[in-house]
Structure 1
Amino acid sequence: MLLQSAIARRDFLYAGAGAAIGLGFPPPRSRAAPAVRAPGNGKSKSVILVNLTGGLSHIDSLDMKPDAPTEIRGEFKPAATSIPGTQICEHLPLLAARMRHWALVRSMSHGENGHLPGSHRLMTGATMPNQRGTDLDNVLSRRDWPCYAAGLDYIRPRHDGIPNGVTLPHSLIEGPLTWPGQHAGMLGATHDPMLVTQDPNSPTFRMDAFALPVGTTADQVEQRHTLLERLESGGAGDPTFRDHQRHAFSLLASGRVAGAFRLDRETVRVRDRYGRNQFGQSLLLARRLVAAGVPIVQANMGIVQTWDTHTDNWGKLKTRLLPWLDQAIAALIDDLEGEGLLGETFVAVIGEFGRTPKVSTLPGEKLPGRDHWAAVYSGLFAGGGVVGGRVIGKSDRVGAHPVTMSYTPFDLGATIYRALGVDPDSEIRDAQNRPSRVSTGQPMDILFQNR
């Protein structure tokens, strides 16, 4: 009974840290031994991961095979780009004109054709744990590997009110299942990225996490902050609890991040350039967040399986997906360059895998599509020192397998950490204090080499 009482009192105090200023936070978890900060060997201050959830068909977009048989090459025609001799899909004209910024990698590859393990690899740079048990029926698993924002938050925590990561415009959830790899996993909820749960294209979009509670003024918040500091001036109390309090106050004090969510401050012309749809406004918000100092933004381009084109592959790509993506990433690159942020922002546009070379029609369906294919697929990379205007890697004549050196999601993970100046060999520890390397991949140095 005494133990239960002590635990209840501790949890109440943790909740009170936020309640004291009108906010609610989850109780912080006990912190493992801190990892050693890596040397500053990256050029980027921020990373934008544009997640093509469901898997973009590489053969119908970035690695077309016009000379392949009909059942492979599909319905679209290739078009010239600003890279001499390089073609991409005719429905990506804005990207084609801006290829000088992009390194197109056509030899991404791994061995998982399932959405869950493939997505986990993309969002964490690690293999999904085999023993998830009944966690597939739960909201999320704390056995998963941490996403990049969580890994960064563990290795390089900050206390200035700016989150280390933001995921938008929603989490990847299908029914009772939450896609693995979106959270801090084994590092605990304290390191979860901030989650946006609204469509930035909605006229009612707003982010309330940074707003003062109704009836509370900035002066009142500061008075409460001062009072708490005085009460703890003797050094008594749980250090983790005090960190939680400081985080709560700094969150409210961070006007930069709060202002980034005010999309209504952008002109109509700017918002129209990105596209008045969820894709476009999500990347506009991503640009505003990195400008405000957020290190990692993951933009999920669609719901859980938007790019999962088993049926009506060409109709979906032609009428919505490719035009929306084309417009949004063109505006993003233009604005990052125009604002002087491109050199310090690493951008990756990629899904968990590609699509099968051979076209097929599912039973009961009339319109054909392509199935999952991880053996080879394509990704786009720009900014943060990436040498653009190049094609790296090559697939075979039907887009089924790489014929040059291949790169994995693990390598992408190591590249993301390295871009931010984090050594991929940095140590993280789970709740049982067991050590692991934050990444097991090899950084894709070729992206940054002029050859």
Structure 2
Amino acid sequence: MSKMQNEILEHYLTFNRRRFLSKLSLGIGSAALGSLLIPDLFSKDTAGAGADFPPGIPHFAPKAKRVIYLFQNGAPSQLESFDYKPKLREMNGQDLPESVRGGQRLTGFTATQASLPMVGSFVDFNQYGQSRAWISDLFPHTAKVVDDICIIRSMHTEAINHDPAITFFQTGAQQGNRPSMGAWLSYGLGSENKNLPAFTVLISRGKGNSQGVYSKLWSNGFLDSIHQGVQFSKGENPVLYLNDPEGMDKTDRRRMLDKLSSLNEMAHEELGDPEITSKIRQYEMAYRMQTAVPETLDLSKESDDIIKLYGPECMIPGTFAANCLLARKLSENGVRFVQLYHQGWDQHADLPRDISWQAKDVDQASAALVTDLKQRGMLDETLVIWGGEFGRTNFSQGALTKDNYGRDHHPRCFSIWMAGGGVKPGIVYGETDEFGYNVIKDPVHVHDFQATVMNQLGLDHEKLVYKHLGRRFRLTDVSGKVIRDILS
């Protein structure tokens, strides 16, 4: 081989070595970065038996890191909140035209009524913000943040009774034993804080007629139990059985957990049941939470301005205002999904009185949460959701009097609002007919809503699946589309 050929060969060998080493260094660096961002990325427990991809890795860049869901349990009336229908006042007392009803199924409350008298809202509406959105006078604080929220007036669902409707919103199915939305997000994205659960639940109750809230709504379903929601109570011990029993200190607890872990590992080697490892992780989480939970839920350091913003009730444990403030603190400390349930919206009778109570319970704190997150620079990365399981009818349930009426369940159209997390602020999406009975523009199904929430957290709802009993399950079942028009 000539001298020139040797030089050419050496050049290419050197060049290839350089490329190899540079690519290798990039790969090692990426792996190191990945292990820092997602500590469990390379652990043997990263992917469950039914996983299609390693949990903790979004499918694409997310707009939101976390969700705070203010669920108004019992179904607020859209006709007294965010969907202004002056036509109903004009036709007050007239029977609902069959051409509008279209043979829709009614509940047992109104199916046998001789007539369905339409009823206009007792409360006035006004336009607010640059969007000029119509907001009822029951929600003056929400009206002040109208340019920070997106109101969706065209929600619709299939369920007509509370339990299946709430379960449908929370789990994507009307029957139980399915993972809830928070559990899916915990499974798909993991936790931002190893000392706190990825999914927490807070419950409050208003003065109105309350529908039940059941643990199946924050269940892990067929996912590992580590993904179930952790309910915080309003008592002295916000998480039951978290504290050490009398006579046991942290050293004793650590010794006990180590011994229990070794026994569980032996059982896992023998039986191969993945729930055993989930139990080990739950015990360890509880141990870390003993320090993290009291510190996170301590409201004593909140400023007077924050207390004034949320209202004085935010210092009363168990109120909606207190739970909204706790939701901000939990989100601030890395909890992925904070679910609030506020009971009392089921106004079949005495609606003017009861909805006034309920609105007063939630209006200030809901708006305060949006304002608080915004001024802390957290709103862009936090998706806030406000709404119930379905709407209320445009006709009165039972007798319609001058000063009193009620509204039955109505799945065909209702309103919710969303804020932050990459959702366009200051817009109104969707439209219902002049009777407030049917969606006539831009319908949004429950599965569309769920797909959109997951999209904002970087998850493709069609790809986040879990194989169970021979079937590939997902939150949105076999439907759902992302509502791109409301996204920035």
Q: When the two structures are superposed, what TM-score results if normalisation uses the length of structure 1?
A: 0.78
Counterpart in the other structure of 1:325? 362
- Give 1:162's match in structure 2, choosing from 186, 189, 196: 196
- Give 2:173's match in structure 1, choosing from 127, 141, 145: 127
Query: 1:51-110 CA distances to partner (integer Å, 9 max, x unpaired)?
Result: 111111001110111243234322100122113432210121111111111011111112
Q: Kindly tell me: are residues 267 and 219 of structure 1, through their superposed partners in 2, closer, same or farther at Cα, counting changes over 3 Å?
A: farther
Counterpart in the other structure of 1:106? 153
Shift of 1:221: 3.9
Matched, 1:195 2:231: yes
Matched, 1:445 2:465: no
Task: Name the SS of the counterpart of 1:288 in structure 2.
Answer: helix
Q: Kindly tell me: are residues 35 and 438 of structure 1, through their superposed partners in 2, closer, same or farther at Cα, counting changes over 3 Å?
A: farther
Unaligned runs of 5+ in 2: 1-47, 93-117
Shift of 1:183: 1.6
- Give 2:298's match in structure 1, choosing from 262, 271, 285: 262
Structure 2 Cα separation of the partners of residues 227 and 182 of structure 1 = 30
Paired residue type of 1:383: G
Counterpart in the other structure of 2:84? 64
Shift of 1:236: 5.6
Matched, 1:147 2:167: no
Equivalence map 1:82-121=2 (5 Å): 82-121=129-168
Matched, 1:77 2:111: no
Q: Kindly tell me: are residues 177 and 280 of structure 1, through their superposed partners in 2, closer, same or farther at Cα, counting changes over 3 Å?
A: closer
Query: 1:257-312 CA distances to partner (integer Å, 9 max, x unpaired)?
Result: 4422223443565345324162211111111111111111110012xxx1111111
Paired residue type of 1:244: K
Structure 2 Cα separation of the partners of residues 208 and 148 of structure 1 = 23
Matched, 1:253 2:284: no
Matched, 1:32 2:49: yes
Q: Kindly tell me: are residues 175 and 328 of structure 1, through their superposed partners in 2, closer, same or farther at Cα, counting changes over 3 Å?
A: closer
- Tell me if the contact between 1:72 and 1:359 (Cα under 8 Å) persists in the aligned partners: yes
Unaligned runs of 5+ in 1: 1-30, 130-140
Task: Name the SS of the counterpart of 2:452 in structure 1.
Answer: helix
Shift of 1:385: 1.2
Counterpart in the other structure of 2:103? none
Q: Kindly tell me: are residues 363 and 156 of structure 1, through their superposed partners in 2, closer, same or farther at Cα, counting changes over 3 Å?
A: same
Structure 1 Cα separation of the partners of residues 372 and 194 of structure 2 = 26
Equivalence map 1:271-420=2 (5 Å): 271-275=307-311, 276=313, 278-302=319-343, 306-318=344-356, 320-361=357-398, 367-420=404-457
- Tell me if the contact between 1:35 and 1:154 (Cα under 8 Å) persists in the aligned partners: no
Larger Rg computed on CA atoms: 2
Structure 2 Cα separation of the partners of residues 50 and 176 of structure 1 = 16
Q: Kindly tell me: are residues 175 and 282 of structure 1, through their superposed partners in 2, closer, same or farther at Cα, counting changes over 3 Å?
A: closer
- Give 1:51's match in structure 2, choosing from 62, 65, 71: 71
Structure 2 Cα separation of the partners of residues 87 and 232 of structure 1 = 58
Task: Name the SS of the counterpart of 1:245 in structure 2.
Answer: helix
Structure 2 Cα separation of the partners of residues 256 and 110 of structure 1 = 39
Task: Name the SS of the counterpart of 2:415 in structure 1.
Answer: strand
Q: Kindly tell me: are residues 39 and 175 of structure 1, through their superposed partners in 2, closer, same or farther at Cα, counting changes over 3 Å?
A: closer
- Tell me if the contact between 1:35 and 1:155 (Cα under 8 Å) persists in the aligned partners: no
Q: Which range moved further: 276-285 or 32-41?
A: 32-41
Structure 1 Cα separation of the partners of residues 212 and 347 of structure 2 = 22
- Give 1:436's match in structure 2, choosing from 460, 470, 473: 473
- Give 1:214's match in structure 2, choosing from 237, 246, 249: 246
Matched, 1:427 2:427: no
Shift of 1:240: 5.0
Task: Name the SS of the counterpart of 2:441 in structure 1.
Answer: coil
- Tell me if the contact between 2:179 and 2:219 (Cα under 8 Å) persists in the aligned partners: yes
Task: Name the SS of the counterpart of 1:169 in structure 2.
Answer: strand
- Tell me if the contact between 1:311 and 1:362 (Cα under 8 Å) persists in the aligned partners: no
Q: Kindly tell me: are residues 308 and 34 of structure 1, through their superposed partners in 2, closer, same or farther at Cα, counting changes over 3 Å?
A: same
Q: When the two structures are superposed, what TM-score results if normalisation uses the length of structure 2?
A: 0.73
Q: Which range moved further: 113-122 or 439-448?
A: 439-448
Structure 1 Cα separation of the partners of residues 80 and 264 of structure 2 = 61
Query: Sequence identity, in percent?
Result: 25
Task: Name the SS of the counterpart of 1:96 in structure 2.
Answer: helix
- Tell me if the contact between 2:352 and 2:404 (Cα under 8 Å) persists in the aligned partners: no
Q: Kindly tell me: are residues 228 and 95 of structure 1, through their superposed partners in 2, closer, same or farther at Cα, counting changes over 3 Å?
A: same
Paired residue type of 1:300: Y
Counterpart in the other structure of 1:5? none
